[in-house]
Structures are given as structure tokens and as C-alpha cells.
Amino acid sequence: MTGIGVGVIEGGWEFVWGAYGASAVILIGYAVSIHRRYRAERRRTGQGAR
């Protein structure tokens, strides 16, 4: 197909994996950072870590 508005994108799985990979790394990485900061803060305030 040719022309503006009628193109079809072929392939592109590397972009799909890139987007899902970035999402997994950022969301899991942030969740782990929250868990570690929470544990550290509880230790500092003498409430122990869970």
C-alpha cells in the first residue's frame, strides 16, 4: 500500500519487547526500591524490618 494514511507497519516486535522490557524494569525496580527504603527506614526508627 502507498500514500499517506494507508501505510501498514510490518514487524516491529523489537519495539514491542523494548516497551514491555522498559516497563518491567522500571515498575519492578521502583517497587524493589520502595521495599528496601521501607525496610531501612523501619530499622532507623527502631521498628525492625518486615
Partner 1 sequence: MATAVMDTKTSDTSTPYMVAGAGLLLLVVGSYWGLAYAPRETYMGDVQRIMYVHVPTAWNAMLAFTFAFGCAIASLIRGGYRWDTRLEASMEVGVVLSTLLCIQGAIWAKPTWGVWWDWDPRLTTTAVLVLAFSGIIALRSFVDDPGRRAVWSAVAAIIAYVDVPIVYFSVKWWNSLHQMQSTPETVSKAFHWPLRINAIGILLLMWGLIALRARIAALRLERQLQPPPEAA
Footprint of partner 1 on this chain (CB under 8 A)? 6-13, 15-16, 18-20, 22-23, 26-28, 30-31, 34-35, 37-38, 41-42, 44-45, 47, 50
C-alpha closest to that of 38 among 48, 26, 28: 48
Work out how close the CB of 11 gets to partner 1 at its nearest, in angstroms, rounded to a whole number: 7
Least gap, CB of 30 to partner 1 (angstroms): 5
Find the shortest distance in angstroms from Cβ 24 to partner 1: 9
Cα–Cα–Cα angle for 37, 25, 32, nearest 5°? 20
| Contact residues for 50 (Cβ-Cβ < 8 A; gap 6+) | 39, 42
